[in-house]
Structure 1
Amino acid sequence: MTTSIHLPPHRLSAAARRLRDDVRSFLDGELAAGTFVPRCDAWMSVADPAFSRRLGARGWIGMTLPSAYGGHDRSPLERFVVTEELLAAGAPVAAHWIADRQMAPSILRHGSPSQRERYLPAIARGECYFAIGMSEPDAGSDLASVRTRARQVDGGWEITGTKVWTTGAHFAHAIVVLARTDGSPGDRHAGLSQFVVDLPAPGVEIRPIRTIDGEHHVNEVIFDAAVVAEDSLLGERGAGWRQVTAELAHERSGPERYMSTVPLLRAWAEHVRQHGDASAERELGGLTARAWTLRQMSLSVAAALAEGRPPEIAAALVKDLGSRFEADVVETVRRLAGIEPRKHGPGLEGLLAEAILHSPAFTLRGGSNEILRSVVARGLGVR
């Protein structure tokens, strides 16, 4: 017997549409002032703390957090509008992205009162940035094969292990680490716990990993008997897998999972308007239709979050389809634009070069597409 994934259409409120106008006006002003240049994959690779602080001052970070913790009591749908506009503009949001997207909801849900008071107001101001310590060497996308170990010692926990592909750890103020507190790797999902580790910290070494574009976005983070305070435990001991699974719904379902190359698509649309032929127009129309469909799916997941419904399976589906769409945008523009990609080049040339270099990671980060299809299949009861 199988079940189905329900993604009902959702229409944004008038207030959300007014909010969109406000964000567009702000971004137009930032572009006119030259504070940023549109970039592909900017949510992952372009950090600008000053820009993040300006967003925080406008109430556009920590939007769904309660006002008691510095948030703004707004809905996931209003947050969706803001993130969608930032992504479409290719704005430099990588500094605060992980903290706002998944760690703020996770700390609000699982954190102690002191953790909430310490981190959430600073996240909402755009002044506290997080990294996520999940993936490990030799594990591929098998997140459950955690070998990093945390053991209780006098006054705290001692963490030993290595995390890889850790985005933004070199500028993060804290990292959330998934470690094994009980059992062995053979226990799989049991015995895992999460810890909030402030950075920098004794016993924690951050080594840069240079990606194919020659830049430093991700890291290897080594914990060499690093001792952290007892209250660094996030949530319940042994509940780490359940907490991470809920967290991944926020990570996988957002518009960034299909909008990383939208700045390129927008630039190519203008190029097609000026220089295109019927073939290019057809391809552009097909990509636009797919983008609209993915937007409706992602918006439906945001609505589920707003209503408190668990969207893990739908989020995995959106991420799978969305990351393939991102790569298809790159290949279509490369094939039809008739230009030479040039790193740091102007306009379409630079966006295409950047997107080509980033595209191999689209279907890997946040869980490989093969893993995500398994998640969807299990959720549907397919054997």
Structure 2
Amino acid sequence: METASKLVIRPAEPDGDLAPLREAVRAFLARTMADRPPQLRAKSWSGADREFSCALGAQGWIGMTWPKAYGGQERSMLERYVVLEELLAAGAPVGAHWVAERQSGPLLMRYADKAVARDIVPRIVRGELTFCIGMSEPDSGSDLASIRTRADRVDGGWVVNGTKLWTSSAHRAEYMIALVRTDRNADDKHKGLSQFLIDMKTSQGLQVRPIRNLGGEESFNEVVFEDVFVPENMLIGTEGEGWAQVTAELTFERSGPERYLSSYALLTEMVDHADADDPRHAVEIGRLVAELSTLRQMSRGIAAMLNRGENPQLAAANVKDLGALFEQRIPEVAHQLFDHELRAGGSPFVATHCYLTQAVPSFSLRGGTREILRGIIARGLGVR
């Protein structure tokens, strides 16, 4: 990864055939993001720009591992990783297509009605669609299997009632993939769950209510379903198999470079403003860069596992947990070393520091809380 900053992180192993792709992505970003300041780059994958997503799609860099029948290029997971890494290191505004490319498209290709998948997935590849994920609910905490939103069978489909909470990008999304309860009499809370594809733009009875975060942004939402009709062909996979499907989906959500690069814009600013005569700067920033390099190798290893068709669930949980700790520590170290007065109207460095100080508390929530992830790790190690 390289940026305009002095911070340069070289691959621990040569990119080899991936080097031309990396250079092509950097050239594209140099053209399209030359005037984007650090405080906007700090939004990373939460920043959304549909025009940018469509331009990226035109380059063939969305859904690039997917089958050609769905608009993909059947390239390797490591090639995809190079593209994601460069986008995140540059702070590209990829939020308009991020969830759709990361997890919704693969889920639809594997489980959805074939006609539905053939209609929707190529539009994801072109950068035209935003997806949101309907998992969390009020009063459910981290216990995803305790959800109460329900779907009842009616003629020609289902009627959904309930509420989803903390739903990122619901206010701009064309579609939601929602986990709901289709069998309220199941003897196990992990049974009787199903996934549905919800049209966010045309469904009657659906309300999206914005929730402001610490930074004053309205990226989270509450989504209320009141007798929302969902056609039969919008059931994803098999009725009652939603738990198995959603846990597979979460593996994609937890393993990528976004799990350690969300605070990267601040780290590059710290390097640019470091005092060469202050040994604390060299020591503390050096530790952060060393940890970043380790997380990068772990995440690249997961990409290699996916490329071999292996299940990286345990490794992905590790990367997500360690990555959130790392990302949350960067603003703390910046404060110790530079002792800014944090205000949004300050210099680009101060504004970036201010934004991430407000944003990082949520980093240990998205994609699964720290407690849930450590439970997965403990089970995988056979100690729980």
If the length of structure 2 is used for normalisation, what is the TM-score? 0.93
Unaligned 5+ segments in structure 2 are 1-10
| Secondary structure of 1:95's aligned partner | coil
- Cα separation, partners in 2 of 1:270 and 1:184, compared to 1, 3 Å: farther
CA offset at residue 100 of structure 1? Answer: 0.6
* Contact kept in structure 2, 1:147 and 1:185, CA below 8 Å: no
| Secondary structure of 2:229's aligned partner | strand
Deviations 1:35-79 (A, max 9, x none): 9964224212x1110111110000111111111111121111111
If the length of structure 1 is used for normalisation, what is the TM-score? 0.94
For 1:37 and 1:187, locate their aligned partners in 2 and report how far apart those are by CA, in whole Å. Answer: 47
* Contact kept in structure 1, 2:152 and 2:160, CA below 8 Å: yes
- Cα separation, partners in 2 of 1:373 and 1:185, compared to 1, 3 Å: farther
Matched, 1:180 2:163: no
Q: Counterpart of 2:176 in structure 1: which amino acid?
A: I
Matched, 1:91 2:80: no
Unaligned 5+ segments in structure 1 are 1-8
CA offset at residue 338 of structure 1? Answer: 3.4
| Secondary structure of 2:146's aligned partner | coil
Task: Write out aligned runs for 1:44-193 (5 A).
Answer: 44=46, 46-184=47-185, 187-193=188-194
For 1:320 and 1:84, locate their aligned partners in 2 and report how far apart those are by CA, in whole Å. Answer: 19
Q: Specify the alignment match of 1:302 in structure 2.
A: 303
Task: Write out aligned runs for 1:1-383 (5 A).
Answer: 11=13, 13-32=15-34, 38-44=40-46, 46-184=47-185, 187-200=188-201, 201-272=203-274, 277-343=278-344, 345-383=346-384
- Cα separation, partners in 2 of 1:141 and 1:184, compared to 1, 3 Å: farther
* Contact kept in structure 2, 1:43 and 1:93, CA below 8 Å: yes
* Contact kept in structure 1, 2:38 and 2:349, CA below 8 Å: no
For 1:339 and 1:185, locate their aligned partners in 2 and report how far apart those are by CA, in whole Å. Answer: 55
For 2:73 and 2:345, locate their aligned partners in 1 and report how far apart those are by CA, in whole Å. Answer: 37
| Secondary structure of 1:329's aligned partner | helix
For 1:370 and 1:34, locate their aligned partners in 2 and report how far apart those are by CA, in whole Å. Answer: 36
* Contact kept in structure 2, 1:130 and 1:175, CA below 8 Å: yes
Q: Counterpart of 1:323 in structure 2: which amino acid?
A: A
- Cα separation, partners in 2 of 1:37 and 1:92, compared to 1, 3 Å: farther
* Contact kept in structure 2, 1:12 and 1:77, CA below 8 Å: no
For 1:160 and 1:63, locate their aligned partners in 2 and report how far apart those are by CA, in whole Å. Answer: 36
For 1:38 and 1:299, locate their aligned partners in 2 and report how far apart those are by CA, in whole Å. Answer: 26
Deviates more, 1:181-190 or 1:208-217: 181-190
* Contact kept in structure 2, 1:38 and 1:89, CA below 8 Å: no
Aligned length: 373
* Contact kept in structure 2, 1:164 and 1:221, CA below 8 Å: yes
| Secondary structure of 1:266's aligned partner | helix
Q: Counterpart of 2:228 in structure 1: which amino acid?
A: A
For 2:345 and 2:359, locate their aligned partners in 1 and report how far apart those are by CA, in whole Å. Answer: 14
Deviates more, 1:274-283 or 1:345-354: 274-283
| Secondary structure of 1:161's aligned partner | strand
| Secondary structure of 2:97's aligned partner | helix
CA offset at residue 244 of structure 1? Answer: 0.5
For 2:145 and 2:315, locate their aligned partners in 1 and report how far apart those are by CA, in whole Å. Answer: 21
Q: Counterpart of 1:234 in structure 2: which amino acid?
A: I
Deviates more, 1:69-78 or 1:176-185: 176-185
Q: Specify the alignment match of 1:4 in structure 2.
A: none
Q: Counterpart of 1:108 in structure 2: which amino acid?
A: M
For 1:210 and 1:139, locate their aligned partners in 2 and report how far apart those are by CA, in whole Å. Answer: 20
| Secondary structure of 1:216's aligned partner | coil
* Contact kept in structure 1, 2:39 and 2:355, CA below 8 Å: no
- Cα separation, partners in 2 of 1:185 and 1:146, compared to 1, 3 Å: farther
* Contact kept in structure 2, 1:161 and 1:224, CA below 8 Å: yes
For 2:17 and 2:82, locate their aligned partners in 1 and report how far apart those are by CA, in whole Å. Answer: 11
* Contact kept in structure 2, 1:263 and 1:351, CA below 8 Å: yes
Identity over the aligned pairs, expressed in percent?
Answer: 50
* Contact kept in structure 2, 1:30 and 1:36, CA below 8 Å: no
For 2:357 and 2:92, locate their aligned partners in 1 and report how far apart those are by CA, in whole Å. Answer: 19
Deviations 1:234-274 (A, max 9, x none): 111111010101100100001101110011101111111x5
For 2:56 and 2:66, locate their aligned partners in 1 and report how far apart those are by CA, in whole Å. Answer: 15
For 2:119 and 2:224, locate their aligned partners in 1 and report how far apart those are by CA, in whole Å. Answer: 25
RMSD (Å) for aligned C-alpha atoms: 1.8
CA offset at residue 184 of structure 1? Answer: 4.5
* Contact kept in structure 1, 2:113 and 2:236, CA below 8 Å: yes
For 1:345 and 1:308, locate their aligned partners in 2 and report how far apart those are by CA, in whole Å. Answer: 48
* Contact kept in structure 2, 1:39 and 1:90, CA below 8 Å: yes
For 2:30 and 2:208, locate their aligned partners in 1 and report how far apart those are by CA, in whole Å. Answer: 37
| Secondary structure of 2:33's aligned partner | helix
CA offset at residue 130 of structure 1? Answer: 0.2
